[in-house]
Structure 1
């Protein structure tokens, strides 16, 4: 067994007076897609933000690829090869799709510096990015903005993608496109930690799963096992797939 790419050990996070994470223990296996599930308010987004250094752990350790990043600054953590796609997508509405992509490609000074093969690969994943290349990002539909947010995160090779609720508010056809794109991403040895509320989305993509409740990890295992066990789904998430087709 290779060592996990990312580990959180006993991580606590306070935001002001609020104690959000209560000793999170999490392993993200290298080269796999790990789903982070849980009810609203369980601490999923806080976990991603803490990994990214946007909020700092008040206790515990975070290791990424053999390095301790617990107290790291967000730009330094990003330089190690981690990209974060927040729930609000973080795109620049007044800039074109092209300009958004160029900003995300840190090594590029102009679009000509972006790896052409990689750009074509992204256009294959998300044809709307090519179609609306010169359009202001703010004019894109919700689904297209989400595609742009993911495209920005993968414009350069990354070791780890942290993605917060990519299917939220999207039409079924767009979700199907997202699932196909993430499946392709999984073939590129990119490790992904993905927060999701849509269980159907999660079960189609996840290799491993961690379920959060009240700021702690309460279940870890294979996604396929959780997808087949309705009793466990109901106990952990208050749902069963039978009621959520």
Structure 2
């Protein structure tokens, strides 16, 4: 796809003796939100970690904005404008919300160096970040920690966000807040590759979708088409999105 920001071509990943990815082909269009779906153990998290350079592809090619990043180190990929929000969120529990945000703003030495308008934009999406600005991050609720993890990823403009299961374990009201925030990010033309198990979340947000099984992408296309095709949902995922609305 000519409008793809990120492409994976025939990507294999081994972790020790285990062969996890078996020739992943994936295209992530620029300025869209691509959902990466599949059963547990299908290879979704490994795909994100391989893009981020945390695990290296043993075969195949990964390109970002036309540049080959297959063998690059994680700091170099981050410097290229890629942010990764792992399932574990990866926040620093002993540091305040403010200190967590400052660490994520690579070009800032003090919080005064961070773009004030961008911080206000983040506060509008996640008011809890402003409310608990000076509180230790470890004292936040699970939903607030997830908000902080996403806020850190967007404290500076990024080319690409890689986000692993942002709704996992969250209360329905917090999930709706997260959906609203991702809609804001989409409106700002942020390119996002998002792994998710909550299919209602996926249906509401995805522009495009790729479904993985056994370390391969077995389906890709428009999210709306998958959301409307119960037979395809059952075949690919073993369930219907409609049952999770």
Superposed CA deviations along residues 104-151 of structure 1, whole A, max 9, x for unmatched, are 000000000000000000000000000000000000000000000000
Aligned to 2:52: 52
Residue in structure 2 matched with residue 105 of structure 1 by the alignment: 105
**For the residues of structure 2 that align with 1:10 and 1:213, how far apart are their CA atoms?**
15
1:2 CA displacement: 4.0
Give 1:201 shift. 0.1
Partner of 1:26: 26
Q: Which residue matches 1:239? A: 239
**Do the aligned residues in 2 keep the contact of 1:161 with 1:192 (CA within 8 Å)?**
yes
Structure 1: how far apart are the matches of 2:89 and 2:49?
13
CA RMSD, 1 decimal: 0.8
Q: CA deviation at 1:67?
A: 0.5
What is the TM-score normalised by the length of structure 2?
Answer: 0.99
Q: Point out where structure 1 has 5 or more consecutive residues left out of the alignment.
A: none
1:1-245 map, 5 Å: 2-245=2-245
**Hey, what's the Cα distance between the residues in 1 that align with 2:241 and 2:11?**
31
Question: What's the TM-score, normalizing by structure 1?
Answer: 0.99
Deviation (angstroms), 1:160: 0.3
Asked whether the 8 Å contact 1:97–1:136 carries over to 2, the reply is yes
How many residues align? The count is: 245
State the shift of 1:241 in Å: 2.5
Q: Residue 2 of structure 1 contacts residue 30 of structure 1 at CA under 8 Å; is this kept in 2?
A: no
- SS of equivalent residue, structure 1 residue 49: helix
1:189 CA displacement: 1.6
Q: Contact (CA 8 Å) 2:227, 2:242: kept in 1 or not?
A: no
How far off its partner does 1:79 sit? Answer: 0.5
CA pair 72-175 structure 1, distance change in 2 beyond 3 A: same
TM-fit CA distance, 1:188? 1.1
CA distance in 1, matches of 2:121, 2:241: 34
